[in-house]
Amino acid sequence: MTLTDFFTLHKGELAGLGAAASWALSSLLFSRVPAQAGAIALFKNSTSCVFLLLTLLLLSAWPGESAGLAFFFETDLEAWLYLGGSALAGLVLGDACYFRSLQILGPRRTLVVSTLVPPIGALCGWFLLSEILPGPAWAGMALTLAGVIWVIGEKGGPDESGGHFPGTVRAGVMYGLLACVGQAIAAALAKFPMRDGLGALEATFLRMVAAVVFGLLGAGVAGRLRSWIQKLRVRGAWLPLLPASFLGTYLGVWLCMSAYEHTKIGIATTMHSTSPIFVLPLAFFVLRQRVSFRAILGAQIAVGGNLLLIHGDRSGDRTPPSRGKTSGSVAAAAATAAGNETLEISRHILGALVAMGSLELARLADNPIEAKWDLGIHSAQ
């Protein structure tokens, strides 16, 4: 398999990982914005809507491209209803709950709760889209979630919450769970129009327009629009929101929709749940924190789960093209080969994990004092 074939075959999964990386960086920025969660959601949706409009206009001016905004008037009512419901569940209510959880718990603990999105998304894909994941794909999903929880479940380190709008831990977890449900429902609803041929960029723009309309209506009815605008006019609020909106909403949601378009809901949401893995280099290079062995090990477990998830799904019902041969025996042989490749990859991953775990246990046995301090991420000297 060439590199081009790999990117073509796995473009949905790669888009999901790109969205996870974008959200990892933007979550650190969003958590420190001194504004209400609803105001943050409205600002980032409005800003991203402008970014998407400029992107469509630039692409429409490219030679050979069709009229950039014609789809806006040609989209039927059914597609608008699906995308509007997706925007309301995910971009408005879901994101508002997510930002509130960020303000209370901070990025690390909020991302612990967000690992529940993949199983919820898979259930939504099962009920609404009749998507069925084979056994190896479920095993890969479980391994990925285990790695993510292992990474962000560490104790120690500085408080990552901004401290602007504190609340109880119970409230933070409840908001996080509501955000998970909203994101999972939004993923399932957004995929319906794309199954009928609507592109990821166009679907993202339509969702964002609907989200801005819902946000403005909600703020107006609640009587908070004026106070939110005044709060967001402060330099300390809009300055970090601009890059966070570009990375997390414009780029992240676009990549997210691309993942929904090219792969299953359960796999796409699992790719998105790896955001905590991308926080590790940010903690080292930006926050100047030493990354513990446990964090590195958990990241490798999550990566191994992603490999198992991708190959398990391909071996189940998405076998690669046979270059002109369409017989059932060729498809069965391809599925068997993919399954053998999955087992081989899993064997190497487990072998590496056992070896690394043995080395770490030996090191901690020689230095029990260091073992106590190595349970968390500590500031680099």
Q: What is the pLDDT of residue 166?
A: 78
How far, in Å, are 60, 102, 147, 374 from residue 155 at the CA level? 50, 17, 15, 10
CB 33 within 8 A of CB 237: yes
Specify the pLDDT at position 262.
Answer: 86
Distances (CA, A) of 1 to 4, 9, 306, 311, 332: 8, 10, 19, 14, 18
Residue 249 to residue 208: CA distance in whole angstroms: 9
Q: Which two tokens stand for residue 258?
A: 């691309």
Decide if 182 contacts 89 (C-beta within 8 A). yes
The full length of the chain comes to 381
Name the burial class of residue 381, with classes exposed (0-12), middle (13-18) and buried (19+) by CB atoms within 10 angstroms of its CB.
exposed
Q: Which pLDDT score, from 0 to 100, does residue 4 have?
A: 83
Alpha helix positions (H), the chain: 3-9, 11-30, 37-60, 70-74, 77-86, 95-114, 117-129, 135-152, 169-195, 200-222, 225-232, 235-244, 252-262, 265-272, 275-285, 293-317, 328-366, 368-373
* Phi-psi map region of 223: left, alpha, beta (phi>0 left; psi -120 to 50 alpha): left
In degrees rounded to 5, what are phi and psi of residue 379? -65, 135
Q: In what helix (H) or strand (E) does residue 378 lie, and over which residues does it extend?
A: strand 378-379
CA-CA distance, 69 to 61, in Å (whole number)? 11
**323 φψ region: left (φ > 0), alpha (ψ -120 to 50), beta (else):** left
User: What stretches in the chain show pLDDT beneath 50?
Assistant: 318-381
In DSSP terms, which residues pair with 290 in a beta bridge?
A: 378
Residue 361: the pLDDT is 43
Give the pLDDT score at 373: 32
| Confidence at residue 87, expressed as pLDDT on a 0 to 100 scale | 96
Cβ atoms of residues 219 and 37 within 8 Å: no
Q: In this predicted model, what pLDDT tens digit does every residue of 67-117 receive, in sequence order? A: 678 889 999 999 999 999 999 999 999 999 999 998 888 777 787 788 777
- Kindly give, in sequence order, each residue whose CB lies less than 8 Å from that of residue 311, ignoring residues fewer than 6 positions away: 136, 140, 338, 339, 341, 342, 345
Q: Determine the Cα–Cα distance for residues 109 and 198; give it in Å rounded to an integer.
A: 36
What is the H or E stretch that residue 63 is in? none
Question: In this structure, are residues 139 and 346 in contact, taking their beta carbons and an 8 Å threshold?
Answer: no
How far apart are the C-alpha atoms of 76 and 356, rounded to whole Å?
55
For residue 182, the model assigns a pLDDT of 92
Q: Give the C-alpha separation, 139 to 135, whole Å.
A: 6
Domain residue spans of the chain: 3-379
